[in-house]
Amino acid sequence: MAAKLKLATTSLAGCFGCHMSFLDIDERIMQLVELVEFDRSPLTDIKNCSPCDIGLIEGGVCNADNVHVLREFRNNCRILVAVGACAINGGLPAMRNSIPLEDCLRESYVNCIGIENPQIPNDPELPLLLNQVHPIHEVVRIDYSLPGCPPSADVFWKFLTDLIEGHEPSLDYDLVYYD
């Protein structure tokens, strides 16, 4: 049997909805683990990426840590995939892009109704926010994109099985949508 493909996944400025949708492949995950080995992923809790065949990135980049993680994935993954609306165009987090960052923080942590002990979080452990949220292809080269908010389980399944079988991945009309 051919060596298993190695697959890594992460969520940057996303909501984990794409990961949840991935898990909607349900019992097909038993077939998948026969064919791929999971590396860094919230599903394995492995913290750093080792050389992989496929990296799935959910979410855009909204802070310095996102940029760091994304570069780690690009350096290690042969095929890097933008998964979901946020990875592709920044998505809903990017709707803050028309508002100055300071105003966003003040509204959330200082002026918002019901706030106790108002202060803008400033712990050195926290990654610094970028002025704007960006899609991941503006930071690293991306090989494929899977649209959808989230892409359905069938999209993940079709894409991964195409790659595993050595086909050029393609999605039919019914699998391509932006919402």
Partner 1 sequence: MAHITIDGQIVPFEAGQTVMEAAMAAGVYIPHLCHHPDFTPHGSCRQCTVTLKNGWNITACTARAAEGQEISNNTEELNLVRKRLTQMLFVEGNHFCPACEKTGNCQLQGVAYHLNMMSNHYPQFYALRDLDATHPDILLDRNRCIFCNLCVRASHAEGKDVFAIAGRGINKHLVVNSESGKLIDSELTADDRAANICPTGALLVKGKAFQAPIGQRLYDHHDIDEITLGGRHGG
The burial class, CB within 10 Å (0-12 / 13-18 / 19+), for 152 is middle
For residues 18 and 153, give the distance between their C-alpha atoms in angstroms, rounded to a whole number: 9
Judged by CB, which is closer to partner 1: 39, or 159? 159
Q: Does 14 bind partner 1 (CB under 8 A)?
A: no
One residue of 146, 160, 163, 164 binding partner 1 per CB under 8 A: 146
Of 165 and 173, nearer to partner 1 (C-beta) is 173
Q: Is 23 in the site for partner 1 (CB under 8 A)?
A: no
CB 24 within 8 A of CB 153: yes
Counting contacts by CB under 8 A, is residue 135 touching partner 1? Answer: yes
Q: Which stretch binds partner 1 (CB under 8 A): 27-35, 42-50, 66-74, 130-138?
A: 130-138
Could you tell me the smallest distance in angstroms from the CB atom of residue 122 to partner 1? 26
55 binds partner 1 (CB under 8 A): no
Q: What are phi and psi of 45, to 5 degrees?
A: 70, 15
CB of 95 to partner 1, least distance (A): 6
Helix (H) or strand (E) holding 9: strand 5-11
Among 56, 145, 158, 164, interactor with partner 1 by CB under 8 A: 145
The kind and range of the H/E element at 38 are strand 36-38
Residue 11 token pair: 């969520």
10 Å CB burial of residue 167 (0-12, 13-18, 19+) is exposed
At residue 62, what are phi and psi to the nearest 5 degrees?
-120, -10
- Site residues for partner 1, 69-128, by CB under 8 A, read 82, 85, 88-92, 94-95, 97-98
The contact set with partner 1 (CB under 8 A) reads 82, 85, 88-92, 94-95, 97-98, 132, 134-135, 137-138, 142, 144-147, 149, 171, 173-174, 176-179
